[in-house]
Amino acid sequence: MPKMNLIKHSDRMTVEEAYEKFIKFCKAKDLSEKTLEYYDYNFGRFNNFLEENDLILISQVSSE
């Protein structure tokens, strides 16, 4: 089976939009509800950090 591109890069895509696409992908893969809840919890914490630092777009986020 060929690999699926999860997200096409866009300089204007928000972190929230990317997360929503990721969750749709996970649901399509039929991941368990507990897994989705775990992702929601951790994304919420990460997103709070991003908002506190005025980081909204994916292009603003780095591993540094």
**Mean pLDDT for all residues in the chain:** 89
Q: Domain boundaries in the chain? A: 17-58
What is the pLDDT, as a whole number, of residue 49?
96
pTM: 0.77
Contacts of 38 (CB under 8 A, 6+ apart): none
The low-confidence residues of the chain, meaning pLDDT below 50, are none
